C-alpha cells in the first residue's frame, strides 16, 4: 500500500520506502495533483515458463538450443547490488537449462557488472544469484581499476578505447542478464550496458561517460545520443567475433516479474525499451510547486550516487523555482569521495562542468549530475546523510519529512500543489505535449 486515507478533513497519511524501512508523513490530499506510480501491468503467472519461452522463442535470434552446443563454455554477466534484477530467481533456471543442453557447471562462470562501483563481497554475490548457483559456478568481480584483467578490442569512432574483462573473452557464449529502466544520460539501462560500462575498464567508462555533457545525451533517448551510440559501437567491436545473447527481465516497483525479453542484444533490447516506456513513463497534469519522491528504499537509496537517478526523475515533475523532497537513507553516504571533493572544491554546477570539459573524471561526472539539477529547483533530502556533506552537495538534509515540508515552505510559501513519487527511481513523469 502506498497510502492510507484518514477519515477526517482531507488529510491523508503516507508511508514511503526508506532504506530497509519506511518514512511516514501526512498531507492535505487536496493539494496532490497526482501520485506517480508504475503502470499496473499483469504479473507473469509462471516465471519459469516465461523464462524458458523467452530462451526458446527469442527476439531476432536462433533459439538457445540451436546456439548452445554440448561442451561449450558460457559466461553470464549479472547485475551488482545497486540494480535489482531478481538474478537469484532466474539464474538457477538458466544454469539448469544450460546443463540440459550439455554444458557442465565447470564450463560456466559469472562476471558481476560493477562498472566503476565497488567490489561485491562473497556474501553479496551469494545473495545476488542464490546459494545454489553460487555454490556451483565460479564468480568474479569486474574491477575496472585492475588493468591486467582487461583485453583490448579497438577504438570507437568517438575515440573510446574498448577494454573488456578477460572473463568474458574466452568463452563460446556471453549471456547478458539484468533488467531495464530509464537512464538519465544513456537513454535506457540493460542490453549493451552489461558489457559497456558493466565489465569495461575504467578508461573505457571514463571516455564513454564524458559524452554525457553533450545536450543530446538524455533520459529515454537512443537515436542521436552519443553515450548510447558509443556504447553500442564498443559492444559491436566485441560481438563481431563473440556470441552475445541478451536476457533482460522487466520488474515492477515491488520487484515482481512483468515480462522477459531475450535474444539478439540489439533487437530484443529495442523491444524491451518500448515496454519500459509503457510501464515507467507516467503522464502528469502539470509541473508542481513541490515534488516528494522516494527512491523506493534499498538499494536505490544506498548512497547519493544511486539516489541521483531519483533526483533526475523528480526534476521532470517540478516547476522552475520549486522544491523537491527526496526520501533516501544513504546508508553508505555519498558513494564517491571524488563526488564529495568535486562539489566541495568547485561549488557550482557550471564550475564542475567547465572542469569536466577539460578533463572528464568518473565521480566528478556524478557531481555535475547532482548539482546541475539544483539550478531549476531546491532539493531537500530526508536522509541519514551528514548535513554538512549534504550542504557541500548543494542540497539540505533533514531527518523527517515534516522538517523537509517546513523548510520547503520558506521557498514556495504555504499555498502550493504537490506531485508524489513513491517509486521515484523507476517512474519518469511526462508533461502534456
Note the pLDDT of residue 4.
45
Helix, strand or coil, per DSSP, at residue 73: coil
pLDDT for the residue numbered 26: 95
Helix (H, G, I), strand (E, B) or coil at 319: strand
The tens digit of pLDDT for each residue in 390-429 reads 988 888 999 999 999 999 999 999 999 999 999 999 999 9
What does the pLDDT read at residue 9? 58
C-alpha atoms less than 13 angstroms from C-alpha of 214 in its C-beta half-sphere: 21
The phi and psi torsions of 75 (rounded to 5 degrees) equal -115, 125
> Strand, helix or coil at 292?
strand
Strand residues in 373-422 grouped as ranges (E): 378-382, 396-398, 418-421
Q: Is 175 helix (H, G, I), strand (E, B) or coil?
A: strand
Domain residues of the chain, as ranges?
Answer: 3-36+284-430, 47-279
3-state secondary structure of 363: coil
Q: Which stretches in the chain have pLDDT values below 50?
A: 1, 3-8
Closest-CA residue to 108 (of 137, 70, 149, 142): 137
Q: In the prediction, which pLDDT does 326 show?
A: 98
Q: Report the C-alpha dihedral over residues 24, 27, 30, 36, rounded to 10 degrees.
A: -40
CATH number among 3.40.50.970, 3.40.50.11440, 3.40.50.880, 2.40.50.140, domain 47-279: 3.40.50.11440
CATH of domain 3-36+284-430: 3.90.226.30
Give 153-177 pLDDT, tens digit per residue. Answer: 999 999 999 999 999 999 999 999 9
Which distant-in-sequence residues (6+ apart) come within 8 Å of 19 by Cβ? 297, 298, 301, 329, 331, 384
- Cα(199)–Cα(195) distance, rounded to whole angstroms? 5
Q: Is the model's pTM score more than 0.85?
A: yes
Question: What pLDDT score does 84 carry?
Answer: 86
Cell numbers describing residue 44: 507473469
Among the residues of 69-190, which ranges form H helices? 87-100, 122-129, 131-136
| Secondary structure (DSSP) of 16-67 | EEETTEEEEEEEEGGGEEEE------PPPS-HHHHHHHHHHS-BSS--HHHH
CB 180 within 8 A of CB 196: no
Residue 179 phi, psi dihedral angles, 5° rounding: -135, 175
pLDDT computed for residue 6 by the predictor: 43
- What's the grid cell of residue 86? 531478481
Contact indicator for 227, 220 with CB cutoff of 8 Å: no
Amino acid at each position: 500500500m502506498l497510502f492510507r486515507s484518514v477519515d477526517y478533513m482531507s488529510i491523508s497519511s503516507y508511508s514511503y520506502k526508506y532504506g530497509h524501512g519506511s518514512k511516514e508523513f501526512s498531507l492535505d490530499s487536496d493539494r496532490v495533483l497526482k501520485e506517480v506510480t508504475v503502470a499496473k501491468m499483469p504479473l507473469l503467472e509462471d516465471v519459469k515458463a516465461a523464462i524458458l519461452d523467452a530462451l526458446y522463442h527469442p527476439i531476432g535470434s536462433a533459439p538457445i538450443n540451436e546456439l548452445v552446443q554440448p561442451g561449450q563454455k558460457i559466461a553470464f554477466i549479472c547485475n551488482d547490488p545497486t540494480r535489482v534484477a531478481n538474478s537469484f530467481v532466474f539464474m538457477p533456471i538458466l544454469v539448469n537449462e544450460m546443463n540440459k543442453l550439455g554444458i557442465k557447471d565447470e564450463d560456466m562462470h559469472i562476471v558481476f557488472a560493477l562498472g566503476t562501483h565497488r567490489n561485491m563481497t562473497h556474501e553479496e554475490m551469494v545473495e545476488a544469484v542464490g546459494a545454489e548457483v553460487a555454490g556451483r559456478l565460479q564468480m568474479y568481480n569486474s574491477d575496472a581499476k585492475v588493468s591486467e584483467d582487461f583485453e583490448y578490442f579497438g577504438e570507437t569512432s568517438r575515440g573510446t578505447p574498448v577494454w573488456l574483462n578477460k572473463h568474458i573473452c574466452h568463452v563460446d557464449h556471453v549471456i547478458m542478464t539484468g533488467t531495464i529502466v530509464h537512464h538519465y544520460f544513456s537513454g535506457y539501462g540493460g542490453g549493451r550496458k552489461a558489457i559497456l560500462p558493466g565489465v569495461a575498464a575504467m578508461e573505457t567508462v571514463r571516455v564513454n561517460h564524458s559524452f554525457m555533457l553533450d545536450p543530446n545525451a538524455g533520459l529515454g533517448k537512443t537515436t542521436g545520443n552519443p553515450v548510447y551510440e558509443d556504447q553500442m559501437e564498443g559492444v559491436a567491436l566485441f560481438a563481431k567475433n563473440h556470441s552475445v545473447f541478451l536476457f533482460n527481465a522487466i520488474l515492477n516497483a515491488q520487484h515482481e516479474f512483468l515480462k522477459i525479453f531475450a535474444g539478439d542484444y540489439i533487437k530484443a533490447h529495442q523491444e524491451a525499451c518500448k515496454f519500459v516506456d509503457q510501464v515507467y513513463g507516467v503522464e502528469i497534469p502539470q509541473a508542481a510547486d513541490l515534488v516528494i519522491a522516494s527512491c523506493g528504499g534499498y538499494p536505490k537509496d544506498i548512497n547519493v550516487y544511486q539516489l541521483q537517478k531519483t533526483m533526475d526523475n523528480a526534476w521532470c515533475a517540478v516547476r522552475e523555482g520549486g522544491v523537491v523532497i527526496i526520501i533516501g537513507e544513504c546508508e553508505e553516504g555519498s558513494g564517491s569521495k571524488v563526488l564529495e571533493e568535486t562539489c566541495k572544491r568547485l561549488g557550482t554546477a557550471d564550475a564542475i562542468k567547465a572542469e569536466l570539459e577539460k578533463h572528464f573524471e568518473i565521480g566528478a561526472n556524478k557531481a555535475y549530475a547532482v548539482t546541475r539539477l539544483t539550478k531549476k529547483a531546491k532539493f531537500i533530502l530526508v536522509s541519514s546523510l551528514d548535513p554538512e556533506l549534504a550542504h557541500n552537495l548543494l542540497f539540505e538534509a533533514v531527518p523527517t519529512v515534516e522538517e523537509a515540508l517546513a523548510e520547503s515552505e520558506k521557498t514556495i510559501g504555504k499555498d502550493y500543489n504537490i506531485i508524489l513519487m513513491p517509486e521515484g527511481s523507476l517512474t519518469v513523469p511526462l508533461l502534456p505535449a
